[in-house]
Structure 1
Amino acid sequence: MTLLLVIIALALGLITYNNPKNGLLVLVASLPAYLLRTELLGVPTTLLELMGLVFLLAWLLRVRKLPFRDLNNFFGLSLLLIVAAATLSVFVAPNVMAALGVWKAFFIEPILLMLVIREMIFTKQVRVKELFLALGVSALVISLVGVIQWITGMGIPVPWDIERRITSLFDYPNAVGLFLGPIIVIGTLSVVITKGWERIFWISASTLSLIAVIAAQSEAALVALVATFIIAGLTHKKTRIASLAATTILILITTLTPALFQKLTLHDYSGEVRRSQWTETAELLKNHWLLGAGLSGYPTALAPYHEATEYEIFQYPHNILLNIWVELGLLGVVAFGLLGFILIQTARQKPSRAQIIALFVLLEMTIHGLVDVPYFKNDLSLLTWLMIAITLSTYARPKTR
């Protein structure tokens, strides 16, 4: 298995060296490749990590320059603080080796890839719509596998098979919503601005992806999608009234439907689990407010505070703020807060259509992250930084339109 994965990664390197754009598109379309895991020289890794590393090396050999220009600004400062927080958190963690794995897979490699992608977008080596299409191909594969699971009932792992909650290629149902939700945003908004085969492609990809999310019963993803599209509608004059009407109707439906109201106010079983997690995490942070628990250290650090023994201890607190705080400490919260401020400022400076779509993708991930973990996975961390690269591809540079 290891040899095969190395060969695949090296093949990507050859593609990248001959044509960096094609190499990048293959990499972006291969985000679920992290599911193929192995060890290389005793170090745990994934196919996606190997592909990302080989892509970076091949790109550097081809271009022979570092993608570090235009970082003498708040964006560069936010990156420096994030890397500093992640590095410090390696030494705070109870298991340094596990922390190093998170450090390289969720921070260092994705950030380096973001810088390269940002450079390629600005120098017009790749078009954003091509990156979106690569993600759409990935979504088609994931959703098709999921829909087949749903129809046949085959391949759904225990215990999700009891409720027929599909997992597609992933290990658990919510991973389907976490991955496909952002791409549904891309696809739905792209339908409005594309024509011909691209529109047909995005209608197909978005529809199948939505069916897969519904079949996975990923309620948080569905809520995040609805909220994102309502906000998107409110920001556009032509759809503002319709969005306000939809919001009013949804509020009425929610208020008059006890089961739905219970879910949205986190008073169902899943909501009780989340509220219990957050309460215990708050107690943990009272004593570890500065440094957090370290990378991958949350389960160990939470154990002394875990009183609701009827619930398991999860890998993360399932809230975007708490996730960052326990993993990266207060410095990480400040760093990501600064990055978020920069993204919001970009949204106020007449962004391009591609940048607007990327911003709404990040919004959907943030809303979903109120009750889940939208970043600390190999595919999601790279997807996050891809959207940041698109949004900030012209940050601190003269815009050419």
Structure 2
Amino acid sequence: MQQLQDYIQHANLLAGAVALSFMLLLYLVWLSGIALLPLVVFVVPLALYGYWQTFVKPWLWVALIAVGSFLGNIMHLLPEGVIPLTLFQLFLFTAVFSILLRRLIERDFNFRMMGFEAEIILFLGLIFLSLIWAPDAPDGFRDGVRVLISIFFLYLVFNEVKRTHEIKMVLIALVVVAVFLGAYGVYQNVTNVGDTVRNMLGGGRFLRGRVTGTTTDPNRFATMFFIPMAFTACIILSKKQLSHKVMAFVAFMVMSGGIIVTYSRSAWIGAILMLLIIAWYYRNVKLFAYLGLVVIAVLIAFPQFTFTLLNAAQRFLDITAGSADDSSRIRLLLGLAAIGMFLDSWFIGVGFRGFVESFTNYYSLHESIGVAEPHNVLYTVMAELGLIGIVLYGFIMFKIFRVAWLNIRLTETEDEKIIALTCFSTIVAFFVFYQFYGGGLNDNNFWLVCALAFSLYYVGKAKSTPDPDELPPAPSLTPSGGGTPSRETGLPSNPTA
């Protein structure tokens, strides 16, 4: 009877969840103003089946949220709304509702901790406390909430992805989406030769045709390729099957083209360092040789792509020269202003998101060509949150790097090694990228790969810690052969012959 009551209770909850989701879908269709009723008839059953699967396999929500984070940079569901609705927001809100519902049904109230909760709480508390003296408190509060949501996303992924297979499936989903984005970017660039030629004639200043997405930011868009490129590069150099290597190589080449046509030098530096780490680990540079051969083949097949590669090479060589644009000089001004804010505020900081307002106290917008946003996460934290903020941020990053590095040393299977190296090299790439660009605290893709690294670490801990129910019972008496029973095995440590 109790089982029947539980079944009825679960069925009612699931039916309510399905009905609510169906109404949400119809509401979105109605808002779109497009006659999608025939499509809904086919999509709804598939969506309901997928929704049911998320109760059986909770990690599917993580894959959907991650995919939404990627696709959210090229499409908006409600672009005319006050706040454009993205796939990331839709999947995140739905996932929170479904996960809470499932945990209530299963009476699962376990919540895993990552080991730096004290630093996270203090850092978030400092962000909101600094709004008291911040010059633009409303803007700081809005960005503080975004950081809070990113941290929430970090713990959501960590608590829902608990197996190596689940991590691998999330990474595969990201590869599929990144291949689509890379192919889209390459196609747009190759078919717009005029933009590429004007880019070259403009000496790197014009840069039309950069793949940007809805954020109009090619640099942030380029970071979408970090995780899938690292994953496919590891597969290529690993001991996986040849068929897996071939598919990974094709995907890697498409994504390489995608990151090139963004013309993001900061992303290029991060990606190159990421690939060097992978090549160093495997003691294998074949990946770069293959890349060179494919580039030659592409130039022969598509001569118009020559302009793109030449312009990309010019952009890369101008990183330190400063001949093509003033980005290097502007970054220097921003760094000097950050040091001034740190010292003039008596190491307390100017308040979260106070960098932009305080920058004009040191340099005019004419000197920085209208740029006042910080382009380095370290000096941003130092200038806005002071000495305490940079120390807390340093502790958080140290623990993230430590866990990611320990994964490489402690993994056993080939899949675990691929995932561990993917996470570590990608974290390095993101960290390097945000030394040249702003906004590192609320990048969901960075926190995603950090969560996957911690999930893999806890998979290893679970494997090394056997279930007490599966341990053999310890003997109550010393065996006749003599010796003291071992604590681990229950066998005598010094058996006699």
Q: Specify the TM-score bucket, using the shorter chain as the normaliser.
A: 0.7 to 0.9
Task: Using the TM superposition, name which of 38-47 and 307-316 deviates more.
Answer: 38-47
The separation in 2 between residues aligned to 1:258 and 1:49, in whole angstroms, is 38
The separation in 1 between residues aligned to 2:109 and 2:151, in whole angstroms, is 13
The separation in 2 between residues aligned to 1:227 and 1:135, in whole angstroms, is 21
Selected match of 1:400 from 463, 473, 482? 463
* CA spacing shift, 1:93–1:149, aligned 2, 3 Å: farther
Offset of residue 163 of structure 1: 3.1
**Which runs of 5 or more residues in structure 1 are unaligned?**
244-256
Does the CA-based 8 Å contact 1:5-1:47 persist in structure 2? no
Deviations 1:75-124 (A, max 9, x none): 2223223322333344444343333332232x2222222222222333x3
Q: Corresponding residue for 2:178?
A: 139
Q: Percent identity?
A: 17
Task: Using the TM superposition, name which of 109-118 and 382-391 deviates more.
Answer: 109-118
Does the CA-based 8 Å contact 2:68-2:88 persist in structure 1? yes
Selected match of 1:150 from 189, 203, 215? 189
- Structure 1 residue 391 and structure 2 residue 432: aligned? no
- Structure 1 residue 219 and structure 2 residue 265: aligned? yes
TM-score by length of 2: 0.64
* CA spacing shift, 1:133–1:329, aligned 2, 3 Å: farther
Q: Corresponding residue for 1:311?
A: 368
Selected match of 1:26 from 46, 58, 64? 64
Does the CA-based 8 Å contact 1:187-1:202 persist in structure 2? yes
Q: Corresponding residue for 1:209?
A: 255
Q: Corresponding residue for 1:282?
A: 339
* CA spacing shift, 1:226–1:148, aligned 2, 3 Å: same
Query: Over the residues paired in the alignment, what is the CA RMSD in angstroms?
Result: 4.1
- Structure 1 residue 174 and structure 2 residue 219: aligned? yes
The separation in 1 between residues aligned to 2:273 and 2:322, in whole angstroms, is 16
Selected match of 1:232 from 278, 281, 305? 278
- Which amino acid in structure 2 is aligned with residue 398 of structure 1? K
Q: Corresponding residue for 1:111?
A: 151
Structure 1 residues 254-333: aligned runs within 5 Å: 263-264=319-320, 269-288=326-345, 290-307=347-364, 309-314=366-371, 316-333=373-390
* CA spacing shift, 1:41–1:167, aligned 2, 3 Å: closer
Deviations 1:361-397 (A, max 9, x none): 00011122221236255xxx21111111122225578
The separation in 1 between residues aligned to 2:441 and 2:242, in whole angstroms, is 37
The separation in 2 between residues aligned to 1:176 and 1:18, in whole angstroms, is 33
* CA spacing shift, 1:40–1:112, aligned 2, 3 Å: farther
Task: Using the TM superposition, name which of 137-146 and 79-88 deviates more.
Answer: 79-88
Offset of residue 150 of structure 1: 0.1
Offset of residue 338 of structure 1: 1.0
**Which runs of 5 or more residues in structure 2 are unaligned?**
1-24, 33-43, 289-312, 465-497
Structure 1 residues 362-401: aligned runs within 5 Å: 362-373=427-438, 375-376=440-441, 381-393=443-455, 398-400=461-463
- Structure 1 residue 96 and structure 2 residue 134: aligned? no
Q: What is the number of residues matched between the two proteins? A: 377
The separation in 2 between residues aligned to 1:89 and 1:39, in whole angstroms, is 33
- Which amino acid in structure 2 is aligned with residue 218 of structure 1? S
Task: Using the TM superposition, name which of 41-50 and 211-220 deviates more.
Answer: 41-50
Deviations 1:234-272 (A, max 9, x none): 345x349x99xxxxxxxxxxxxx9997663466763211
- Which amino acid in structure 2 is aligned with residue 301 of structure 1? S
TM-score by length of 1: 0.78
* CA spacing shift, 1:356–1:78, aligned 2, 3 Å: farther
Secondary structure at the aligned position of 2:461 is classed as coil
- Which amino acid in structure 1 is aligned with residue 235 of structure 2? S
Does the CA-based 8 Å contact 1:93-1:296 persist in structure 2? yes
* CA spacing shift, 1:288–1:140, aligned 2, 3 Å: farther
Secondary structure at the aligned position of 2:360 is classed as helix
